[in-house]
Structure 1
Amino acid sequence: MTSITDKNIIDGFANEMNEMHNKQQKAYADIIEASAELSQSHRYFVTSALDAGLKKRDNDEMLLDILEAFKKDLPHKNALLKEKQHAIAEMASDIDQKEIQKLAIIQKIEKLKEDQTRRKELIESQCKVNKDRLKNLQKARIVFQENLGMDILTIRCIAQDVNGEQLQFVFRNINPTDMNSTYVITMGIKEDRVYQIVSSDPALECLPDLERRLPETNNLSAFLANVRKQFIS
């Protein structure tokens, strides 16, 4: 059995103890280094979390400020909205009124067109009647001129209520002492197509009665014959 006082054994044991010590020192150093890295990482994480928290707090405070400002401004915005709604309602009412006025104007225009058409038809009808009467007067003119010495003259209208031109019936061969002396009656046609006696020379007292009966008979030849008789008498 080898004695423990053997130098080789002592040196081997010492070397093993040194090696074990070095390993422990290295393990401690690794643990310290890992702890330092973990502590640094923890500090970085805490710093990042703190920065994020502070940033979120600032954002939350800004959002709260915006929310408070919006709450304060909300009544004003609601008032503006009501004003705009009222203005829109007034505009819609104004548009409706204008549409009603437009329809009324269109109806008036249509009525005016209808009235104009009726007036045109009435004027054309009156012109036709007047032309027919003038034709009859021309025929009567020949008869009266040849048999009774009467002339028919066309003159410009003077009376405002007489339509178109006037006619003058000039009678001769009435006064036995002067067969060329003239007796004149002037007539026209009113807008309602009724004969109107404008004047007579000499004046006849019975002329209004003759004028009243003329529309009843509508016989101009008989009327002129009666006028001639009155001039003779």
Structure 2
Amino acid sequence: MASIKDLDVGEKFSSKLEEIRTKLLSQAMGEMLTESTVEFCQAHKQYMKSVLDTCSKKCREDETMFETIQGYTDELKRLSSSMKETNREQPEILGSIQDKESHKELLIQKIEKLKQEQIKNRELIQSQNKANKDRLKNLNRVKEIFQERLSLEIRKIQGEKLQFIFRNINHKNPQNAYTFLLRINEDGEYRSKFFFY
């Protein structure tokens, strides 16, 4: 083998080896870094796309939620306005109801009073009917007595006039008629005339 005489050759060789080693390392690292970077970039893109999709979906959901909230807010304002209007009308309605209740109470009291008066009137009418029936019985008895004893005959003449005819008054001539005419004038007064035949 040949001898190496140049002392710098070892150093040059070492430095060349180091250079090659560095070059190889940097190439290997570059390839490794490039592959990792590409994978990392793709993973990062997919992750960012997933995050962007999630954010877009969340944004749409938030917009829908904000629209719903706005709708509820508008409905709440409308209901609040309606309640204020109702609250303004409520005293009038309550006053009207109270007036109707008091009017109802008055009507109930009047009805009760009228019922009591009707009961009293019915009792009065019944007692008057009984009294009238008793009077009518008495008058019929008296009429029968007058008819038997005095041959009384009662006739209705020309509307509001009554003619009473008595016989058997004169014992000497029992067929003689004595007439009594009774009528009521416009003032409600009785007018009478006596006749002898």
TM-score by length of structure 2 reads 0.56
Distance 1:170 1:65 in 2: 107
Relative to 1, partners in 2 of residues 1:157 and 1:69: Cα closer, same or farther, differing over 3 Å? closer
Q: In the alignment, which residue of structure 1 is the partner of 2:131?
A: 118
Q: 1:156 aligns with which of 144, 153, 170?
A: 153
Mapped pair 1:53 → 2:58: no
Question: C-alpha displacement at 1:12, in angstroms?
Answer: 11
Q: Residues 146-195 of structure 1: CA distance to partner in whole angstroms, max 9, x if unpaired? A: xxxxxxx524359xxxxx864533234xxxxxxxx99x8x7x9xxxxxxx
**Residues of 1 paired with 2:56 and 2:152: CA distance?**
128
CA distance in 2, matches of 1:131, 1:98: 47
Contact 2:153–2:165 at 8 Å: present in 1 too? yes
Residue matched to 2:89: 76
- Distance in 1, matches of 2:129 and 2:63, equals 93
Query: In structure 2, which of residues 46, 57, 62 is the aligned counterpart of residue 44 of structure 1?
Result: 57
| CA–CA separation in structure 2 for the residues paired with 1:132 and 1:120 | 18
- CA deviation map 1:103-125 (0-9, x unaligned): 31232123212211222123224
The CA deviation at 1:97 is 0.9
- Cα gap change, 1:17 to 1:110, in 2 (>3 Å): same
Of 96, 104, 107 in structure 1, the residue corresponding to residue 117 of structure 2 is 104
**Residue 94 of structure 1: CA displacement?**
1.8
* Counterpart mapping for 1:127-138 below 5 A: 127-128=140-141, 131=144, 137=149
| Superposition deviation, residue 45 in structure 1 | 0.7
Tell me how far 1:131 sits from its aligned partner: 4.5
Instruction: Compute the displacement of 1:76 (Å).
Output: 2.2
Match for residue 99 of structure 2? 86
Looking at structure 1, the residues matched to 64 and 91 of structure 2 have their Cα atoms a distance apart, in angstroms, of 39
What secondary structure is seen at the aligned counterpart in 2 of 1:171? coil
Equivalences, count? 156
Deviation digits for residues 120-145 of structure 1 (CA, Å, limit 9, x no counterpart): 1232244346646876x5xxxxxxxx
SS in 2 for 1:169: coil
Q: After the TM superposition, which residues 1-233 of structure 1 pair with which residues of structure 2 at under 5 Å, given as runs? A: 18=31, 21-128=34-141, 131=144, 137=149, 154-156=151-153, 166-172=166-172
Which of the pair has the greater relative contact order for Cα pairs under 8 Å at 6+ separation?
1
Q: Quote the residue 2:14 is aligned against.
A: none
Identical amino acids, percent of aligned pairs: 8
Unpaired segments ≥5 residues, structure 1? 138-152, 159-163, 173-180, 189-198, 202-233
The residue type equivalent to 1:121 in the other structure is D
Between the aligned partners of 2:165 and 2:136, the Cα distance in structure 1 is 15
RMSD over aligned Cα atoms? 4.2
Q: Are the equivalent residues in 2 in contact too, given 1:157–1:165 (CA < 8 A)?
A: yes
Deviations 1:22-79 (A, max 9, x none): 2442133112211221123113213421431243134214412431342144222321
> Could you tell me which residue of structure 2 aligns to residue 229 of structure 1?
none
In structure 1, distance between residues paired with 2:147 and 2:82: 94
Deviations, residues 192-225 of structure 1 (Å, cap 9, x unaligned): xxxxxxx9x9xxxxxxxxxxxxxxxxxxxxxxxx
- Report SS of the residue matched to 1:168: coil
